[in-house]
Structure 1
């Protein structure tokens, strides 16, 4: 890469922040960002990876998301951000509907198991 090009990681960071900005302009006040670390060969947000691309482990992925969110806060695109633990301490989860449910997440699987009983 020459000095004028951006790394894929930087491009992905900018795309996610641009999406957050776009959704804010559409009136959304809250955004959720969730994913499990992918296994090699499994793609989530961006569906094309080179064979040589580094896959982050759980801690690396969390750090990368924190970098994105911190940049959003620094540039005033985001007022702030919290993880589930911080959100729980702030206002608690009093009802099942208070929990954001993401496709194939732990809560989604638990709720499906109740539905199947």
Structure 2
């Protein structure tokens, strides 16, 4: 009888403690590409993330205005808001964001 009174609470504590460890392990998993939203910029510099967001927005505006769907014809691609060597990186990230928005809206 006394063994049951001691063993039952100990088992309950052990079970609850184990669940906490499993929950913590699941929460610490790194996000994968599949779990990241399509319009969330990939990790990188603030400028690269801004270019990605600009590309997403430009694609949405082009589709809404029934303009030609091509990143290289967009105003921000042709005239990026950065200077010098950063232009190529901006254009690259802009194109990735633009294509992600087009792919998402086409249902692919």
Please confirm whether the aligned pair reaches a TM-score higher than 0.5, indicating the same fold: no
Shorter-chain-normalised TM-score: which range? 0.3 to 0.5
TM-score normalized by structure 1? 0.33
**Greater helix content:** 2
TM-score normalized by structure 2? 0.35
For the pair shown, the structure with the greater C-alpha radius of gyration is 2
